[in-house]
Structures are given as structure tokens and as C-alpha cells.
Chains A and B, each alone.
Chain A
Amino acid sequence: MADLSINFAGIRAPNPFWLASAPPTNSGAQIHRAFEHGWGGAVWKTIGAPVLNISNRYGGLSIAGQRLLAINNVELISDRPLDVNLREIAEVKRMWPDRAVIVSAMVDADPQAWKDIVAMIEDTGADGIELNYGCPQGMSERGMGAAVGQVPEMCQLNTHWVTSITRLPVIVKLTPNITHIVDPAHAALAGGANALSLINTINSVMKIDLDTLRITPNIGGRGTHGGYAGPAVKPIALNMLAELMSDAQVRASGVPISGMGGIVTWRDAAEFLLLGATSLQVCTAAMHYGYRIVEDMIDGLSNWMDEKGFATIYDVAGKALPQTSTFGELDLAYQAVARIDPDKCINCNLCYVACNDTAHQCIDLVAGDGVRVEPGYDIRANGKHVADTRPQPVVRESDCVGCALCANVCPVDGCIEMVSVPSGRESITWDQLTAQRPEIATSWDAMMAYRKEVGIDIH
């Protein structure tokens, strides 16, 4: 049985699944219930300056009948009085000594304001502080949240104000609403951050109601941008995590990273771990299904780790990182081609139309007698038996560029495989090639000469 416990910058938890600072962590009663369901920790919904929330706050993304593939919110930080939150934090920590209780905070960019709130957080007995430099709406207009996170100097200064006065581990939560995620990360490290977490929500307008023509959520006839989160943002979060974990300075610092952004199942969790996160935060999935989802997260992750022979979270952490690379480091001689398994093919012919219309026209429709045919049918023919005489899609491997579009559109698992084939060329990367022959990067004639030389024919 795998050991899921973590020690994250000194914050201990029985498993890596923490509820992110958000509506699911709004009160002591909620977190108490969440811990009963097994969550390893919780980052208390951000406390700080007085706010007034508005109605309504959430927009949902549905695709093809599947609800809440993402949610966006125009919710602010906790609207409960500071003293109430602080008292409940202390109560929860007292009742659950083995769980991680981290307090998210956000105050004016002023050293005294930070000093005041840090002292109050320390008094609760909480295990750590997370600096919310991410809120993209409502607070940023007041000079907090993303307004700090988007300016590295502010990020460093505010972090320093906190780390210089507290004994608690300080996690800096980064905003994705920035061009280079490593810039604020470096700033946070320079400010003394003990850990990083990402991603906060992404600026978004979720949708326009086609009946009312209004922006959703409709707030008294007006709409505003909100913070985008949920399953749909996972690839963005994974990329930013990979960027951080691939950065020499971040790695050298040794600070752990708490990953979040679209974690719904243990499978998502495992992906974040494989890219180097060592604690995981969850919000939208809990908002969609309730706290109970953590049971399968723990159980599924544990079973997968057992099957893979991983004893601890730290055995998993970062296992996929060595593969992260830049385009310039990829092997230009690598060649894959699509291969369709005729026994698995159900003849939907989506690969054919995708390749023919939008890729490289290298899939043919082949009739039972082996003759290539055009799409179409005899209008006098009908009945279910027409399915038996459907032409089969077949890849012309000599023309296949290995783009993998067909494999992505194929609805049958394992029907179209991208198979590695010898290209007959020496391995070389773009960086190596252009170092040897810089003219290839600037002259089409040189490029064409090189292709001819090594036998690359682009039809």
C-alpha cells in the first residue's frame, strides 16, 4: 500500500489532496466536513480586506451536454469577518492536528497590513500561509491579487514583507494571467518564498446567453470577466507547472510546488505529480460533486502507485520531467506514421475526412476488392447491409507525415497507432543543425538543398 503522506515545505499531510482556497474552504464547518471525507489539507478561503460579494457569481461551460467542464467566478475573497475566520481556523486546526491547514491571505500592498495579518494567522496555529497573488477580478482593481502577481517587483516585495516576519512556511500562489510564469516565480523566490502554487484562475468571459444576449453570469444586466477554472484549464496548468519545474533557478531553489488547475480525478493528480508537484489542490471538482470525490482520488492514486511500484509521492514526483524539452532539442530524424488496425476500425471514416480536408491527404478509402474508391453511394441501395460493404480507410504510409490527427479523431481506443518507423536519416536536432549550418534557418534555398541532401520529400 503506497504511502501518500507528504511533507510540503514543512507542512505535513496524510495525503497530497488539499482543497484550494475557494468557496469549498469558506468556513470551519465546511472544512470539518471535508476532513471527515478524507482531504489531506485545506487552504482556507482568502482572508483579508473587507469585501462585499455580488450575485450571481458563476458562469459554467457545457460542451456536448457535459456540464461544468469549466467554471468562471466573479467571487471575491472571504466576506466573513476576519475574527470569525480566525477563530474557526484555530478550532479546525485544534480538531485536526494531522491535516494541513493553510491560510490564504490578501491585503493591501503595505508592510504593516501584512504584518498585522501574519500575526493573526500565526496565532491560529495554522500550518502555513499562502499569498494570494492571483485573484483576477474584483481585488486586482484594488491593487491586490493579480495586481501583485503580474508585477514581479511587487511579488518579490510583498513576499519579502511576509517571509521576513513569519516562522510559518509561505507559499506564493501564482497567477496564470501573465506571459512568462517563471518571472513572478523568480520574484517569489527572491522574496524568500518557501513554496509555490499554481495556477490561480484565468481571465475569462464564459459565455453570452443567446436568448437574452447578455453576458453570463448576468449581474443586474451587466457582466464582467471572471476567473476560469476546472477540467478545461488542466493543460494550461500542466504547461505552467512544467515551465517552472524545467527552470534551472526554480529547481536549484528546491522549493516544492503545489499544483492545481483542473484536477478532477486521481488520474489528473498523477499527471501533476509526474511533472513535479508534491501537493495538489482541488476546487472545481469539489464544487461540482462535493467533498466525497476525494475518496476515489486517494484510492485510485494509491492503487495506481501500487501497480507502478511507487512507494511514496516522492517516488512519483517529477518522473515525467526528463522528457520535457524545447522544440530545438527534438530529433528531426524521428519518423512516425499512422497505422489503422482494420479489425478494430468501425468505419466511421472520420480519419479519412480529417486527413483529406485538413491534413495531408494520405488516407485512402479502399473497397473490399482492394480498389481505391471515392466517397459516395448508390441511391438505390439501402438497408443495414450497406454497412458491410463500406470502404476501409487505409494510410498511404509513404505520404504520411505523422501528424497524428487521425489518431486523435479516431473514436476507437487503440485503433490508430502512431508507429515509429526508420526515417533513414541521422538523428539531429534543430539546434544542432542550425549551429552547424546557420544558413538553413534564414534561406529557403539552403533549406531545400538540405532536404534534398538527406532525402526529405514534402509532397
Chain B
Amino acid sequence: MPDVTAPPLDANAFAETYTPLSAHEATVEANRCLYCFDAPCLQACPTHIDIPTFIRKIGTGNLRGSARTILEANFLGGTCARVCPVQELCEGACVLNSEEKPIAIGRLQRYAVDHVQERGVQLFQPGPATGHRVAVVGSGPAGLSAAAELAKLGHAVTLLEKRELGGGLSTYGIIVLREPVEVSLREVEAVRALGVDVQTDRDLRTRADLDALLAEHDAVFLAVGLGAVPAMGMPGEEQVVDGLQFIEDSKVNPQALHVGQRVAVIGAGNTAIDAATIARRHGADVTMVYRRTESEMTAYRHEYEFALHEGIAYQFLTQPVRVVTEGKQVTGLECVKMILGTPDASGRPSPRPLPGSEFVIPCDQVIKAIGQEKPALAVELGLSLDKGYIAVNDAMQTSAPRVYAGGDCVRARGTASTVMAVQDGKYAAAAIHQHLSASKEAAHG
């Protein structure tokens, strides 16, 4: 099969799915908000943004105030406005769900935050210097959130990022249809504007690296995320494309992105759908392959429906067993049909192969997005683990003194999401601040 990259369907194929609200749309939508007292949307938001207040401020034309209300509670309000599963959070809790359509909270939030960020308005100042130094490792949502909060409290923050660009998952892992790269880079710049020393191409690999950081800083916050897509252990896997890498290339290296004409995507989570969407928007015929059924898939319902709308096909109860190749060229994905049995440890029915049901899905590219490996770094650093993730207490403290962690790398419980990572960053910053303030008092006492 020829090695071709299909051209985009049209020039707008990679524009943000949701267009920005116009001033009139925003005003009308903001005024639809009831301004609930002690509002459920505010409670539903993991970062507890005062949603009725920011919406009211849009309604009165106080966009700067609106953005401040958002960003005070969530420094990554621009990213969260785009990537949050609002149906599961704020909009899902909106009292208007019972009557009509919930308020478009996500889009209103984006309207207010974009207003100030596109104009380069700095709403926050670094706090008076405390003399304390904190290192934050990883510039994804958890790292940026913690760095911003610590800087606002007056601590000198060094933010280390192993890649070339800051922003972590927001920059590299969210497809541009949902969040353009410049949005997450603006948030990195906003942290820099608070005096945070952002150092890219700085990796932390060993316990010695951590000890070196601890020697120079009063505390370290690890926001290192997760690893690559795990191996499936099937023949021909070396020809399979890593879904995260595929998404990353589509964002920061689109010229190098190779997209097949017939693409099989293994997995049925949100990342799998993102990868499938990119391939589809490049003109590929895309089939998602999942060993369980629609009811067990981990993608949000709205994401699944979005994928169907995009024209992405699904093969449920299908387990890939071998990548069929001719030389190095993929020609198909051999699968076996599955049947669901009794619930497994995850509480979901366990799938088992149906003997003799092998068949081949013809394709020229296979992408896998079956989750991410747990943070290997945790073991290397000698930290206590919880189900393979870094173990932390309620104050985001790890087993090592002065070392805190947050974001996906600690997500042993609950759902990994940007907004939870942001909240972890806030919790960690508050805990570090409290610890440093106490130690200062002790020193003076």
C-alpha cells in the first residue's frame, strides 16, 4: 500500500470545534444564568470556581473581573474551559438541566479568560518575597497550578520541564480541535510573568537529581504525569503507533505526522477518540477496536457521540492479537471476537476470547491508546507507591520529607483530569506554604 498522508478534509478541519462566543451570544447566555445562591455548579467544579459570579460579571460587561474570578480559583481556566468534561461537572450540576439546557459554562469561561489572555492582561502579581525556594517538576496542569499559587504567595519558584515546550499534557496531549497549542503556551507565559523561573529541557531522572533539587530548594513538587502507552505484547507491535505520540505530532510537528488511509485505533478512552478524530480529520477511514462493549468504554458519553458524528466506526467485543504486516508495511489487524463474562476486579464484566473467531481488519496503520503507564519515576526515586502511583496524603505529601506530588502521577483513586490536576496543584501549594510558614515561625521563635 502506498505511504501517503491524506490531506485535511478542509481548511477548518483543525480549527477549534467550538467557535468563540460573540459578545452578544455571551451576554445573552450569561443573562440566562439564574445566579443561583450557593450554586451547585460551583460545588461540582473540582477547583470550585465561583461560576455564578464570573458569569454575572460577563453579563455586566466586567470581563476583567470575570477572568480574575475564574483564574483566582483555577490558574488554568483557559485550558479547563476547553478540556473539562463540563457535562460531568459544572454544567451537569446546573439547575437548568431539569427545565431546559444548562448554561454553557465552559464556553462562557473561555470567553472571559480569552478576553484577558489574548490582550496579555496580567491580573496577578507575585507576592512579597518570603525567601523560600520551591522546585516544581513538570509544567503540565498540576505543575503550572502549583507554581502560580506558590509565586502569588511570594515563594521563589523554579519550574522544570523535560520537553522543549511547557504545558505538559495541555500542549502535547490535547488535540487542537479541543485546545490550540497557543492557549496552553499562554498559561506557561502567565506563570513566567509571575516571576517563576521556567526551565525547559530539564529532566529529573534519578534520586540524585531529586536530592540535588532538595539541596537547593525548601520543597519539591512532583507533577510528572504518566508514562507512554503500555505494550500489548502482540506480534507486530513494533509497527503500532503510540496514540499519545500521534496526538503530539499532530500538535507540535504536524508536517511529520503520518496518517494512514485505513486506520485501526485500539482502545475506547478519550485519548483513543482524540487519536481517531485526528486520523479521521486527515481523511482516513477509522475503526476503533475495543474488547468490551459500549457500556464499559471509559470515554465520556459525549465524546463517544462526537466520534460517531465524525464518522468513526466501532468494533466492540474485539481483541487485537496480531498486527499483519508485509515487510514493514501494516496491512491489517488480526483480532478475535470476545464474549463478556463475570465481573473482574474493575467491576466490569471480564471479556474472554471466543475460540475460532479470528478475523482481520484490513488497515494500513494501527494506533494504540489503551491508557498510560504508571510513573516509573516513583520507583526510581524510592517513594512509597499506591497501586503503582506515587502515594500522597491529603496534603499531597509523599513519603519523602519536603517532597509533594500531584496530578496524574498520584491518581490512584478517582479520574485523571486536567481540572483535578489543577486542584492538586492548589492543595500542594497551600500545604507547602503552610509548612514553610510554620518552619519560618519556628526559626524566628
CB of B372 closer than 8 Å to a CB of A: no
With A65-B31, A346-B96, A346-B99 as contacts: A386 and B44 at CB distance below 8 Å:
yes
Q: Is the interface of B mostly helix, strand, loop or mixed?
A: helix
Question: A383 and B27: CB pair below 8 A?
Answer: no
B residues within 8 A CB of A353? 37-38
**Partner among A65, A376, A412 whose Cβ is within 8 Å of the Cβ of B27:** A65
CB of A411 closer than 8 Å to a CB of B: yes
Q: Which residue of B lies closest to A377 (CB)?
A: B43
Stretch of B86-94, B326-334, B348-356, B382-390 contacting A (4+ beta carbons < 8 Å):
B86-94
With A65-B27, A350-B36, A377-B43 as contacts: A387 and B96 at CB distance below 8 Å:
no
Question: A346 and B98: CB pair below 8 A?
Answer: yes
CB of A95 closer than 8 Å to a CB of B: no
A69 to chain B minimum Cβ distance, whole angstroms, is 13
CB of A213 closer than 8 Å to a CB of B: no
- Measured in the bound complex, the distance between the Cα atoms of B95 and A350 in whole Å is 12
**Partner among B35, B42, B91, B96 whose Cβ is within 8 Å of the Cβ of A350:** B35
Count the A-B residue pairs with Cβ separation under 8 angstroms: how many? 73
B residues within 8 A CB of A382? 43-46, 48, 89
Question: B93 and A377: CB pair below 8 A?
Answer: no
Question: B43 and A65: CB pair below 8 A?
Answer: no
CB of B34 closer than 8 Å to a CB of A: yes
CB of B101 closer than 8 Å to a CB of A: no
Question: A383 and B88: CB pair below 8 A?
Answer: yes
Question: B38 and A346: CB pair below 8 A?
Answer: no
B residues within 8 A CB of A175? none
With A381-B43, A386-B93 as contacts: A348 and B48 at CB distance below 8 Å:
no
**Partner among A350, A375, A376, A387 whose Cβ is within 8 Å of the Cβ of B92:** A387
CB of B28 closer than 8 Å to a CB of A: yes
Q: Which residue of A lies closest to B46 (CB)?
A: A382
- Measured in the bound complex, the distance between the Cα atoms of B87 and A348 in whole Å is 18
A residues within 8 A CB of B93? 383-387
B residues within 8 A CB of A377? 38, 42-43
B residues 51-104 touching A (CB-CB < 8 Å): 59, 87-99
Q: Which residue of A lies closest to B35 (CB)?
A: A350
- Measured in the bound complex, the distance between the Cα atoms of B44 and A229 in whole Å is 44
Q: Is the interface of A mostly helix, strand, loop or mixed?
A: loop
B residues 20-39 touching A (CB-CB < 8 Å): 24, 27-28, 31, 34-39
- Measured in the bound complex, the distance between the Cα atoms of B52 and A353 in whole Å is 14
CB of A352 closer than 8 Å to a CB of B: yes
Q: Which residue of B lies closest to A390 (CB)?
A: B40
CB of A218 closer than 8 Å to a CB of B: no
With A65-B24, A346-B96, A387-B44 as contacts: A376 and B89 at CB distance below 8 Å:
no
Ranked nearest first, the 4 interchain pairs of A and B with the lowest CB-CB distance are A384-B92, A353-B37, A64-B31, A387-B93
- 24 of the cross-chain contacts (CB-CB < 8 Å) are A64-B59, A65-B28, A65-B59, A347-B40, A349-B38, A350-B35, A352-B37, A353-B37, A353-B38, A375-B37, A376-B38, A379-B48, A382-B45, A382-B89, A383-B88, A384-B87, A384-B89, A384-B90, A384-B93, A386-B43, A386-B93, A387-B94, A387-B97, A412-B99
A-B contacts besides A65-B31, A387-B94, 5 pairs, CB < 8 Å: A346-B95, A348-B34, A349-B37, A377-B38, A387-B92
Chain A contact residues, CB within 8 Å of chain B: 64-65, 346-350, 352-353, 375-377, 379, 381-387, 390, 411-412
Chain B contact residues, CB within 8 Å of chain A: 24, 27-28, 31, 34-40, 42-46, 48, 59, 87-99
